[in-house]
Amino acid sequence: MAKRPRKIGNKKKETRRIKTEPSCVFEKDSLDILRAALIELEKSFSNLPSAANAIKDKVKFEKTILGVAERLKDNYPYFHPLYAGQMLKPPHPIARAAYMLSLWINPNNHALDGGRASSAMEREAVAEIAKMFGWQTHVGHLTGGGTMANLEALWVAGQLNPGKKIIASEQAHYTHSRVSGVLGLKVELVPCDAKGRMDIEELRKTLDHDDVGTVVVTVGTTAAGAVDPLPQILELRKQYGFRLHADAAYGGYFVLADNLDHETKKSFDRLGEVDSIVVDPHKHGFQPYGCGCVIFRDPTVARFYKHDSPYTYFTSKELHLGEISLECSRAGASAVALWATQKFLPLIRGGEFAKSLDVSREAALSLYRKLKADKRFITAFPPELDILVWAPAARKASEASELSRAFFNEIAKRNLHLALAELPVKFFGTQLERDRETITCLRSVLMKPEHLNWVDKIWEIMDAAADVVIRKD
């Protein structure tokens, strides 16, 4: 993290110390520490005959890597607080350093033969995640991302309830429909209410008419950060007896947050009662991409993964992670980075990591309040987590959609990068004439801990862009 986040509610400290020199955007101190750690790691292999893999042609190497730097310039500044568009949170320096350090070993967490230390680190890190949801026993592992993690959860659901339907909300991530297709499972999407949450009455109707095996509860939708009403869904489970899977890929870590509103908190408080959970460390957990996680409350579902391999599981009778995962080779580096991050920022209530989530939500609320107080904008529901959606004020949904695109382009010229989303007009209440069912609106994910300190700057840019794009009357 570049800067310590400002304390919530401490108005006096709102003065910003924003450095804009290009030399200040990347953290580099960790490179020296990484070098020292690499030398330390090398010591344990010093009994081997020398085999250092020196770079043969340093000139070519340098030219190539500088060429890479050149190519990488063609990116939005995802690492910078003025990038507040998609769900992108830079890896923590400790995650980056640990990941890089492990690359000199390049462990593979498929079998213990390929990644002994990193497999143990994965099991410890995943157990910490399970504990965060109150699970003392579980079975689970890291995956390439949220898609693979959800695929495994739905695959197990399908094994337990063959032929029965998967139900998710229409705001659930599209991955559920896609992976259900891959798995040959029937899926149905139920409508949402005006707050983007699964509509309970619609769910009940579906349960009355369909043979439902599993309900997917989304704990933080991708578009608007809405949290499906878990307590009511758990009540329905008593009556209808379905399996419950929580897609908390984006929102799961907010179980540690202290500043959720009452309704949202009630859902998080009962997250431990579902059957499986997906949470993505590569979203809110400060990890490089390639790190999702799926956990099952009932460890005996490991039986579905059971298989043998004529060439894999030789060196140990202990569990090899490949025996409880659909993917075979997986980056041990991901486990090492996650383990290091959780040592540095433990997953505990009131800890530094938990507070960083409070800060993200406060950033979203702070920007929401500014938008709500300004007649040039219309807002949807208040952010439940740290995503908010809004649009320029207009008479009709079609006009607001056009203005959203113009505003998006105008702020990009000013170095502020937001996102666009196509969402139901009902999310905006009755503020707009509904000449279309959806509205193209602006979407912002304020998930960097620095964002709270940058809300004033973000607003300054939005204010200037609004003067150009949006009518004041």
Ligand X SMILES: Cc1ncc(COP(=O)(O)O)c(C=O)c1O
The residues of the shown chain that bind ligand X, judged by CB under 6 A, are 87, 145-147, 150, 173, 175, 218, 222, 247, 249-250, 280, 292
Minimum CB separation from ligand X for residue 95, in Å?
Answer: 16
Minimum CB separation from ligand X for residue 147, in Å?
Answer: 3
Minimum CB separation from ligand X for residue 253, in Å?
Answer: 12
Q: How far is CA 193 from CA 202, 240, 299, in A?
A: 9, 22, 35
Position of minimal CB gap to ligand X: 146
Minimum CB separation from ligand X for residue 450, in Å?
Answer: 21
Which residue, 147 or 444, is less far from ligand X as judged by CB?
147
Which residue, 217 or 462, is less far from ligand X as judged by CB?
217
Which residue, 5 or 252, is less far from ligand X as judged by CB?
252
Which residue, 146 or 322, is less far from ligand X as judged by CB?
146
C-alpha span between 314 and 419 (Å, rounded): 49
Closest CA to 338 of 39, 92, 112: 92
Which residue, 132 or 294, is less far from ligand X as judged by CB?
294
Minimum CB separation from ligand X for residue 292, in Å?
Answer: 5
Which residue, 227 or 466, is less far from ligand X as judged by CB?
227
Is 391 in contact with 444 (CB distance < 8 Å)?
no
Q: Tell me, what DSSP letter sits at residue 244?
A: E
Minimum CB separation from ligand X for residue 245, in Å?
Answer: 11
Minimum CB separation from ligand X for residue 432, in Å?
Answer: 26
Which residue, 87 or 347, is less far from ligand X as judged by CB?
87
Return the exposure string of 180-202: e unless at least 16 CB atoms fall within 10 Å of the residue's CB, then b: beebebbbebbbbbebbbbbbeb
Is 126 in contact with 280 (CB distance < 8 Å)?
no
